[in-house]
Chains A and B, each alone.
Chain A
């Protein structure tokens, strides 16, 4: 079936422009913070941003920046520069690219604004600890570490006590950095808005339950930026509300994300930022829609622990039990839930050399999915923003073989 220009046009998402506008405004605010007297905090993607928003501090995300670097295909050059500085090419490509871009003020938007403080939450990996130490030395900026003990099988009472004490230490750190008292009333409001944003994001992702799906995980990777960077702000809530309306309208109008959705797939791990278009076209050519992914879901997965009437306390648990801070068996349960919820025919695993907590254990997850649900899977290996690590021909062969298997199985 060939696609007409009108089809293509109707498939194009209206919200994309608005998202670009918001992100541009956000980065202008962040880059001009020095002139407007606002403080800038660098924070990890899984870190609790809400107290920063409540303190009117601008949060900046080196990981979001890493994604921008990858998408603009500047990753290989920056990673190579980091290697020249002595960083091993086996290290996380976000970290390598970010560290190099600091040194040369290079990369998209001419580098990130200088941090007044650094907030590192290790609920996503141990890499961020080392990465933020590097940046704390480079910028000579104070570093706060929110240490969220790994929940292999449980969130223990002692971990709970430890994290809750640290939330208070975090607030004291912010008070010291801004010389301002923390506003607990404002915090409640920001907490409420954060939870509302997360609910809306989940609702957006849930529209992919529909057949055909109005969106793919590649769309989710793009629209994710706000729930990561501006969680807890009204603009995020407004944006996802209108995105949700757009998705619901697409469902009502029968507009599908790909021209001919025959197969539905689940993606695991971070995106391969520099091959998004290629991958999405490759799968679409097989009539396969990647309807969901474990990655973008991570920003609403903690909703089950969050209580808007007791945000600070519930946030301690929500942030500690993030998707990358739980045992492989817990991850298996979540993947199986997603396989059922989105009714997928196959599982695509990005074995990401840049992210060990996400990737080690994937083979066990893969076997569990095959055993429990009998669906095929495929592994694609790369470093998420270092395109030198990606073999297009090998990936293509694997995807073709995988889709052939699904085709035979499903007919």
Chain B
């Protein structure tokens, strides 16, 4: 779709897009996790950029992280050490998992960007003390940005940031729902480009473009449902557009996801009442969670079942990144929740590269025949 060209360009050649932005005087702050308080970075007039990591060879990072580290952490470190992220003015490391936690130390000790911050978020999200701590940590982060980069973040700027992000998240949710209702309205890799592009491109621009895109799609005559099997993708990140295409070729369609580069990114909106920092903190306690955080012992299983029902899914594909402990720990229980409901699932473990197309196609076809 023509309207998506800029999203595709940003998603596929991020370096070029960011260099242009940088050329226009924007300062770029890299981040690694969907719990990054992007709104505060945006309110500071800085540009938040989600880092995805190289899919090429890892050599320099080998001197810092063992081979049993996930490809995301190794890939991002490789990019930084190889100078491919020299456009960054800084990076933010929210507390996520054991690997990102150590990547933060290694990054701090081995790179020289002007700005660096750890945002040591709470791991549990189900108590008042954790909520208060979340808020305190976000305030510290705001002070870090202000102090280290000599700038001021006003409440008005925060409120504008909240509005912008609410609009982006709301639009991504609408697009997902549209696609769930009419799976053929957008291709899977279109959705990929839109979500990834939204984490890369200028957010004001994204906030303008997404409503226009939705309007165009509303005007489009819905394509007739081709009867493809409706599948939910569950896992951490998916930076593999080919995966969607191969899946569609196999006769399936991804109607929703539980990914941090997907619905976990846009789930939940920030209240526009009261203190904006407190409101940003509160959203983190409500949005669907990453397995590295704790809300209850069964919340992810229950939510996955809800997603299956809400989107009339025929099955679930678990897309797990090799060496991702939090997701690996949840897999058996999530699968057992699905088994109890009679929902078929398959597990696909990936590193930086997808298996060959032929192999993947066969596996998807086999699964789709089964559901």
Q: Given A91-B325, A91-B328, A162-B130, is A357 in contact with B120 using a C-beta cutoff of 8 Å?
A: no
Q: Pick the residue among A137, A149, A162, A166 that contacts B333 (CB under 8 A).
A: A137
- CB-CB contacts of B288-328 with A at 8 A, as 1s and 0s? 00011010011000000000000000000000101101101
Q: Please, which residue of chain A has its CB at the minimum distance from the CB of B136?
A: A158
* Chain B residue contacts of A208, Cβ below 8 A: none
Chain A residues contacting B97 (CB-CB under 8 Å) are: 126
A329 within 8 A of partner (CB): yes
B123:A129 contact, CB within 8 angstroms? yes
B50 beta carbon closer than 8 Å to chain A: no
User: Contact between A360 and B127 (Cβ–Cβ < 8 Å)?
Assistant: no
Closest Cβ of chain A to B189, distance in Å, is 28
Q: Which B-chain residue is minimally distant from A356 (CB atoms)?
A: B98
Is B127 within 8 A of A152, CB to CB? no
Give B335-366 interface residues, CB cut-off 8 Å to A: 335, 349
Report chain A residues within 8 Å CB of B65: 360, 363
Contact A90 B98 (CB under 8 A): no
Instruction: Say yes or no: is A353 at the interface (Cβ < 8 Å to chain B).
Output: yes
The contact of B329 among A130, A145, A327, A364, by CB within 8 Å, is A130
Q: Are A126 and B297 in contact (CB under 8 A)?
A: no
Q: Is B105 in the interface zone, CB < 8 Å from A?
A: yes
| A212 vs chain B, min Cβ distance (A) | 34
The answer, yes or no, to whether B283 is at the interface (CB within 8 Å) is: no
Complex Cα distance, B314 from A50, in Å, reads 50
Tell me the complex Cα distance, A357–B65, Å. 11
User: Is the CB of A150 closer than 8 A to any CB of chain B?
Assistant: yes
Q: Is the CB of A90 within 8 A of B122?
A: no
What's the Cα separation between A133 and B300 when bound, in Å? Answer: 12
Asked if A410 is at the interface of the complex by the 8 Å CB criterion, the answer is no
A328 to B320, CA, bound (A): 28
Given A125-B98, A147-B130, CB of A364 within 8 Å of CB of B106: yes
Given the complex, which residues of B lie within 8 Å of A126, measured CB to CB? 97-98, 101, 123, 292, 325-326
A381 to B101: give the CA distance in the assembly, Å: 21
The answer to whether the Cβ of A156 comes within 8 Å of any Cβ in the partner chain is yes
Quick one: which of A92, A329, A359 contacts B109, CB cutoff 8 A? A329
Q: Is the CB of B325 within 8 A of A130?
A: yes
Q: A127 is contacted by which of B325, B333, B349 (Cβ under 8 Å)?
A: B325
How far in angstroms is the closest Cβ of chain A from B29?
18
CB <8 Å contact, A165 and B129: yes
Residues of chain A lying within 8 A (CB to CB) of residue B105:
152, 327-329, 361, 364
Closest residue of B by beta carbon distance from A91: B328
In the complex, whether B104 has a CB less than 8 A from a CB of chain A is yes
Q: Which among A2-10, A81-89, A241-249, A394-402 touches the partner chain?
A: A81-89
Other-chain residue from B63, B137, B294 in contact with A133 (beta carbon distance below 8 A): B294
C-alpha gap A90/B291 in the complex (Å): 17
**A 167-209 binary contact with B (CB < 8 Å = 1; else 0):** 0010000000000000000000000000000000000000000
A-B contacts at CB below 8 angstroms, number: 144
- Number of B interface residues at 8 Å Cβ cutoff, please give it: 50
Docked-complex contact A360 and B123, CB < 8 angstroms: no
CB-CB < 8 A to A159: which residues of B? 120, 133
Q: Which residues of B are found within 8 Å of A92, using beta-carbon distances?
A: 325
Contact in complex: A364, B64 (CB < 8 Å): yes
A152 touching B108 in the complex, CB below 8 Å, given contacts A145-B123, A363-B63: yes
A305 at the interface (CB under 8 A from B): no
Residue of B nearest to A355 (CB): B98
Contacts A126-B123, A149-B95 known; A361 to B106 CB distance under 8 Å?
Answer: yes
For the complex, is B118 an interface residue (Cβ under 8 Å from A)? yes
B152 interface contact, C-beta 8 A: no
**B119-139 residues at the A interface, CB under 8 angstroms:** 120, 122-124, 127, 129-130, 132-133, 136-137
> Which residues from B are CB-within-8-Å of A104?
none
In whole Å, how far is B8's beta carbon from the nearest beta carbon of chain A?
34
A149→B95 CA distance, assembly (Å): 9
Contact A161 B136 (CB under 8 A): yes
Q: Contact at B69–A360, with CB atoms within 8 Å?
A: yes
Tell me whether B99 is interfacial, beta carbon within 8 Å.
yes
What's the least CB distance linking B298 to chain A, in Å? 7
Q: Which of B97, B122, B133, B140 has the most CB of A within 10 A?
A: B133
Q: Nearest chain A CB to B291's CB is how many angstroms away?
A: 7
Minimal Cβ-Cβ distance residue in A for B301: A137
Q: How far is the CA of A402 from the CA of B300 in the complex (A)?
A: 47
Given A85-B332, A150-B101, A363 and B297 touching (CB < 8 A)? no
Q: What chain B residues lie within 8 Å of A327 (beta carbons)? A: 105, 108
User: Which residue among A133, A137, A159, A165 has the maximum number of chain B CB atoms within 10 Å of its CB?
Assistant: A133
A147–B122 contact, CB under 8 A?
A: yes
By a CB distance below 8 angstroms, the chain B residues around A152 are 101, 104-105, 108, 118, 120
In the complex, the chain A residue whose C-beta lies closest to that of B130 is: A147
Which residues of chain A come closer than 8 Å to B17, judged between CB atoms? none
Give the residues in chain A near B136, CB-CB below 8 Å. 158, 161-162
Give chain A nearest CB distance to B134 CB in angstroms. 9
| Given A92-B325, A158-B140, A328-B106, residue A130 in contact with residue B291 (CB < 8 A) | yes
Minimum CB–CB distance for A347 against chain B, Å? 16
> Which residues of chain A come closer than 8 Å to B349, judged between CB atoms?
88
A contact residues around B123 at 8 Å (CB): 122, 126, 129, 145, 147
Known A126-B123, A143-B297; contact A360-B102, beta-carbon cutoff 8 A = yes
State how many angstroms separate the Cβ of A171 from the closest Cβ of chain B: 13
User: Which residue of A is nearest B291, CB measured?
Assistant: A130
B353 to chain A, nearest CB (A): 18
A126→B63 CA distance, assembly (Å):
24
Answer whether residue A216 sits at the interface, using C-beta atoms and an 8 A cutoff.
Answer: no
Tell me, rounded to whole Å, the shortest Cβ–Cβ distance linking A84 to chain B: 10
Name the B residues within 8 Å of A23 (CB-CB).
none
Q: Is the CB of B329 within 8 A of A357?
A: no
Q: Is there an interface contact between B66 and A158, defined as CB atoms closer than 8 Å? A: no
**Does A136 count as interface, using CB distance less than 8 angstroms?**
yes
Give me 19 other A-B pairs in contact (C-beta within 8 A), A88-B331, A356-B69, A364-B110 excluded. A87-B328, A90-B325, A125-B98, A126-B123, A126-B292, A127-B325, A147-B122, A147-B124, A152-B105, A161-B132, A162-B136, A169-B127, A327-B108, A328-B105, A351-B66, A360-B65, A360-B98, A361-B102, A363-B65
4 interchain residue pairs of minimum CB distance: A86-B332, A130-B329, A158-B136, A360-B102
Q: Can you pick out 17 interface pairs between chain A and chain B where the beta carbons lie within 8 Å of each other? A: A90-B68, A92-B325, A125-B98, A126-B98, A127-B98, A134-B329, A137-B298, A143-B297, A145-B123, A161-B132, A328-B109, A351-B66, A356-B98, A356-B99, A359-B66, A363-B66, A364-B109
